Structure 1
Amino acid sequence: MENSRKLLIGLVLGCILGLGGLTWFNGQIKEMPPGPEFLVRWDAMPFDRAVAILEERGVVRNAWVFSRYARLERKAVAVQGGTYAFRPGMSMAQIVQSLKTPLRQNVRIPEGWWIKRVAERLESKNVCTAKEYEELAAQPQAFQDSVDFPLPKGSLEGYLYPDTYDLPPMMGARAVILRQLQTFKKKVVDKVGEEGLARAVVLGSMVELEVAKDDERPRVAGVIENRIKKGMRLQIDATVLYALGEWKELGPGVVNTVQSPYNTYLHAGLPPGPIGSPSIKSIEAALKPEAHNYLFYVARPDRSHYFTSDYGSHLKAIAKARGEWRTAKEPDNL
């Protein structure tokens, strides 16, 4: 009888302890009080290490218990490198799901944009600061060992290929630039080679900003080459805008007041470097310009151009284009 009594007491105490342990365990995996969302940028790491960090940040109540529970549920996986979003108050299922899925963010870098404009967009998307991107883009030597084609001196302008990239928040400027250089290698260097490439990037950057229609890119490149051969100044507005560092409409006479080696109204020949990031189509046009006698072109409302070979014809083309622009701006055509 005494032994039966002791056994019963033992069973009761065991149940009490078991229930108490279960209650404690459940309490340790309960959600934390709600709080604001925050982002973290991590290298790849073990699940337990990530959970320990989340305990420090107030997202997980007990990292040891959380990890054990996740393993029992077969939900513990190694954490990939990337950017993650968390907030106190998330459920265990939400936390585990967030640990499995680093953030993604598509960021479009348009053709023709220069470094400063790209930097501002990256900062607006929380990818990196504009200052960090601009400073690193001014240090080509810091990236030369990471690529197998020659980089320019002084600036990576023109070599940071324009495209739509997956650039999550907090990615950092160095990672962005490396990805752009790798894309430049794949889409440009591997396709056209290195011979004459540096000059083609400069010329192509002007073609990119001057031309909207692909079939006109080689023609405009031909105009630029013809003017260079004749010692004529290129007089390309985009070079003045680059010198100013902002994209805006140029008022009368402004082009002759901007003192910069990039101002092709004041200086003959090509500018000292690219004025933006050209597409492969513009670079190919620069490498294979169309052979013709044109020296002038003027933009039309449909984004095409009139091309002429002498100044008199150019003036007539300007008058014709202005008439088209006036018609295009009339209320019935807007």
Structure 2
Amino acid sequence: MSSKDKQKNWQEIKKKKLKERQEEASIVRKIVLVCLFLFLIAFTAAGYYAYSYVTSALGPVDETDEQLIDVEIPIGSNSTRIGNILEENGLVKNASFFRYYIRYKNETGFQAGDYQLSRSMDLDEIIAALKEGTVYQEYALSFTVPEGRWLERILEIIADNTNHELEEIREKVQDEEYIESLIDRYSILTEDILAEGIRWPLEGYLFPARYDFVEEKPSIETIIEAMLQRTEQIIGRYFADVEESDYNIHEIMTLASIVEGEAQKAEDRYKISGVLYNRLDRNMRLEVDPTVAYAHGEHFSRTLYEHLDIDSPYNTYRVVGIPIGPINNPGEAAIKATLQPEENDYLFFYARTDGEVMYTKTFQEHQEVLREYRD
């Protein structure tokens, strides 16, 4: 090859390499530009999300809902407890955001007392109301009903804290004429509560909460109806869920009482609720132990096979579908979980005495869990 040809060949190689470097540089520039573009999109989206979240959290939970909600802020409540109370009553979207917001604004001076607030109030309006305060009411009579108690126990709590005899209270809540009058006045009550086989018509409907009375000796009717009003108020918060449900309010309250009886932890309520619906969808018996205890009228430390044979409309080991009525008086968390179940594929669960719940999809897996933990 002549020197002239070599030089020409060398120049072509240089041109080729230069072109390759230019193409590589062009690709790198495009990649950098795409990355910058994606970063800007992500940054903008994150900023928009943060702005939207803060704006939403500062605004009303539901600007169209002006219904007043009774809220008690106990003496000595800190910002965390106040935030939790507001969230539990559906007045703020997030208790943690409430706490951080008042810290950011350096808000202090919240007053204990009884308030009437609504979901149409924004966060600043709620803060202003809590700072303005109310005259803390001294009540002549107060008592608390814990979640998940049988109606019989609730009647004992009322008798222990009032001047009413237990037998007198029992007679009132079994008075059919009085129950009929309550059905006429409360939308949560239907004729289902008077079905043959129902042990206590108002079982499931006496809401667990603290009750305060200005008068020293409120009547039995006043006490019972205060509890029914609270239940109606709670159910009203989930009106849309109730409307969308395939089950009526009596069936929902019955399922909620089962969820209350089975779940000790918040996350388990939604999972167990999902399992119950899965079994109902497949026309399976619910087979939950708390219904057996209620059928016997006796709490068991452990449900035995011999307990399962009782002939009762409450016994879900024999009854297909939802039992005849509630087996305790559920709290709001159990009611909410029943109306908003977790979607899952589980058909079985086993609740251990330590509160842990084991979930399984097949009968064989469930039997293995029983052998491991029951034995």
Q: Structure 2 length normalisation: TM-score?
A: 0.54
Query: Counterpart of 1:107 in 2: which secondary structure?
Result: strand
In the alignment, structure 1 residue 126 sits paired with structure 2 residue 187: no
**CA separation of 1:146/1:134 partners in 2, compared to 1, >3 Å: closer, same or farther?**
same
**CA separation of 1:302/1:252 partners in 2, compared to 1, >3 Å: closer, same or farther?**
closer
Which of 153, 156, 159 aligns to 2:205? It is 159
Per the alignment, residue 257 of structure 2 pairs with 205
In the alignment, structure 1 residue 112 sits paired with structure 2 residue 164: no
Query: Counterpart of 1:239 in 2: which secondary structure?
Result: helix
Does the aligned pair in 1 maintain the 2:254–2:323 contact within 8 Å? Answer: yes
Superposed, 1:73-222 pairs within 5 Å as 104-138=140-174, 139=176, 140-152=179-191, 153-154=193-194, 155-166=201-212, 170-192=217-239, 195=243, 196-222=248-274
**CA separation of 1:317/1:169 partners in 2, compared to 1, >3 Å: closer, same or farther?**
farther
The 1-side partners of 2:290 and 2:352 are apart by 17
Backbone CA RMSD of aligned residues? 2.5
Per the alignment, residue 246 of structure 1 pairs with 298
The 1-side partners of 2:227 and 2:233 are apart by 10
In the alignment, structure 1 residue 313 sits paired with structure 2 residue 365: yes
Per the alignment, residue 42 of structure 1 pairs with none
**Which consecutive unaligned segments of at least 5 residues does structure 2 have?**
1-136, 195-200
**CA separation of 1:102/1:277 partners in 2, compared to 1, >3 Å: closer, same or farther?**
same
- Mean Cα deviation higher: 137-146 or 288-297: 137-146
The 1-side partners of 2:163 and 2:211 are apart by 11
Q: Structure 1 length normalisation: TM-score?
A: 0.60
Per the alignment, residue 134 of structure 2 pairs with none
The 2-side partners of 1:303 and 1:251 are apart by 16
Deviations 1:142-168 (A, max 9, x none): 223443554443212211111111257
**CA separation of 1:318/1:207 partners in 2, compared to 1, >3 Å: closer, same or farther?**
same
Deviations 1:241-298 (A, max 9, x none): 1122232335533323322111111111110111111112211222222211111111
Query: Counterpart of 1:297 in 2: which secondary structure?
Result: strand
Q: Equivalent pairs: percent with the same residue?
A: 30
The 1-side partners of 2:271 and 2:317 are apart by 21
The 1-side partners of 2:354 and 2:315 are apart by 27
Q: Look up the equivalent residue of 1:143 and give its one-letter code.
A: L
Alpha-carbon deviation of 1:119? 1.1
Deviations 1:40-69 (A, max 9, x none): xxxxxxxxxxxxxxxxxxxxxxxxxxxxxx
The 2-side partners of 1:220 and 1:160 are apart by 23
The 2-side partners of 1:296 and 1:251 are apart by 16
The 2-side partners of 1:276 and 1:251 are apart by 17
The 2-side partners of 1:267 and 1:217 are apart by 22
**CA separation of 1:244/1:301 partners in 2, compared to 1, >3 Å: closer, same or farther?**
closer
Superposed, 1:62-77 pairs within 5 Å as none
Does the aligned pair in 1 maintain the 2:188–2:249 contact within 8 Å? Answer: no
The 2-side partners of 1:127 and 1:192 are apart by 37
Query: Counterpart of 2:238 in 1: which secondary structure?
Result: helix
Does the aligned pair in 1 maintain the 2:289–2:303 contact within 8 Å? Answer: no
Count of aligned pairs between the two proteins: 223
**Which consecutive unaligned segments of at least 5 residues does structure 1 have?**
1-100, 324-334
Query: Counterpart of 2:320 in 1: which secondary structure?
Result: coil
Query: Counterpart of 2:143 in 1: which secondary structure?
Result: strand
